[in-house]
Structure 1
Amino acid sequence: MMKPTYSYFPGYHVFFIFLQIILTSENLMVTTPTGHVVARVGGQAELSCQVTPPRSVAYMDVRWFREDKSKLVYQYRGGHGVDGEAAPEYVKRTEFVSEAIGKGKVALRIHNISIFDDGPYQCSFNDSGFSDVAFMNLSVAAFGLKMQINVQSFGYDGIILECSSVGWFPRPQMEWKDNNGNVVPYSSISYSQNEDRFFFMKITLLLRNQSQESITCCVHNPLTGEEKQTSLIIANALFDENYIKYLIFIFLGISICLCLFYLLILYLMNSAFSITIISHYLQLRNRVFISDPLYSLYNSWMENMAVVIVFIVSLQTMVRPVQLQRELTDGGERDKGRDLPSKCMFRSKSEE
Structure 2
Amino acid sequence: MLAVIGQTQDIVLPCKLDHPMDVVDETVEWSRSDLSPRFVHLWRSGEDLLIGQNPSYKNRTSVSIEKLKTGDASLKLTKVRLSDEGTYRCIIPELKPESSVELVVEADIQIIKVSPRVLECKSKGWYPEPEVFWLESEGKIITAGSKEMFRGSDDLYVLSSRLTLEKGHSNNITCRIQQNNQHREAKIHVPG
Q: Same fold (TM over 0.5)?
A: yes
- Partner AA of 2:176 in structure 1: S
CA shift, 1:167, in A, is: 2.0
- Identify the residue that residue 79 of structure 2 maps to in structure 1: 112
- Identify the residue that residue 32 of structure 2 maps to in structure 1: 66
Task: Check conservation: 1:55, 1:104, Cα contact below 8 A.
Answer: yes
Give the Cα separation in 2 of the matches to 1:60 and 1:117. 26
**Are positions 1:138 and 2:103 aligned together?**
yes
Calculate the TM-score normalised by the size of structure 2: 0.62
Give the Cα separation in 1 of the matches to 2:64 and 2:188. 45
Q: Are the structure 2 counterparts of residues 145 and 189 from structure 1 closer, same or farther at C-alpha, using a change threshold of 3 Å? A: closer
- Structure 1: any 5+ residue segments left out of the alignment? 1-35, 153-161, 170-185, 208-352
Structural RMSD (CA): 2.9
- Identify the residue that residue 270 of structure 1 maps to in structure 2: none
For 1:57, which of 23, 33, 36 is the aligned residue?
A: 23
Give the Cα separation in 2 of the matches to 1:201 and 1:40. 14
Q: Are the structure 2 counterparts of residues 101 and 205 from structure 1 closer, same or farther at C-alpha, using a change threshold of 3 Å? A: closer
Q: Are the structure 2 counterparts of residues 47 and 86 from structure 1 closer, same or farther at C-alpha, using a change threshold of 3 Å? A: same
- Identify the residue that residue 103 of structure 1 maps to in structure 2: 70
- Partner AA of 1:144 in structure 2: I
Larger radius of gyration: 1
**Are positions 1:195 and 2:162 aligned together?**
no
CA shift, 1:133, in A, is: 1.3
Q: 1:84-112 CA deviation, whole Å, 9 max, x = no partner? A: 11001111111221213222112211111
**Are positions 1:165 and 2:121 aligned together?**
yes
Task: Check conservation: 2:29, 2:43, Cα contact below 8 A.
Answer: yes
Q: 1:21-80 CA deviation, whole Å, 9 max, x = no partner? A: xxxxxxxxxxxxxxx253544611111211122222122211111154642100011111
Q: Are the structure 2 counterparts of residues 110 and 135 from structure 1 closer, same or farther at C-alpha, using a change threshold of 3 Å? A: same
Calculate the TM-score normalised by the size of structure 1: 0.36
Q: Are the structure 2 counterparts of residues 192 and 143 from structure 1 closer, same or farther at C-alpha, using a change threshold of 3 Å? A: closer
Task: Check conservation: 2:4, 2:108, Cα contact below 8 A.
Answer: no
CA shift, 1:203, in A, is: 3.3
Task: Check conservation: 1:164, 1:200, Cα contact below 8 A.
Answer: no
CA shift, 1:200, in A, is: 5.2
- Structure 2: any 5+ residue segments left out of the alignment? 126-169
**Are positions 1:76 and 2:43 aligned together?**
yes
Mapping 1:306-321, distance limit 5 Å: none
Q: 1:192-216 CA deviation, whole Å, 9 max, x = no partner? A: 2233756454534344xxxxxxxxx
Q: Are the structure 2 counterparts of residues 94 and 168 from structure 1 closer, same or farther at C-alpha, using a change threshold of 3 Å? A: closer
Q: Are the structure 2 counterparts of residues 121 and 82 from structure 1 closer, same or farther at C-alpha, using a change threshold of 3 Å? A: same
- Partner AA of 1:83 in structure 2: L
Q: Are the structure 2 counterparts of residues 125 and 137 from structure 1 closer, same or farther at C-alpha, using a change threshold of 3 Å? A: same
Give the Cα separation in 2 of the matches to 1:39 and 1:190. 19
**Are positions 1:48 and 2:32 aligned together?**
no
Give the Cα separation in 2 of the matches to 1:39 and 1:80. 30
- Write 1 or 2 for the structure with the bigger share of helix: 1
Task: Check conservation: 2:12, 2:77, Cα contact below 8 A.
Answer: yes
- Identify the residue that residue 180 of structure 1 maps to in structure 2: none
Paired residue secondary structure (1:58): coil
- Partner AA of 1:205 in structure 2: V
Give the Cα separation in 1 of the matches to 2:34 and 2:188. 37
- Partner AA of 2:171 in structure 1: S
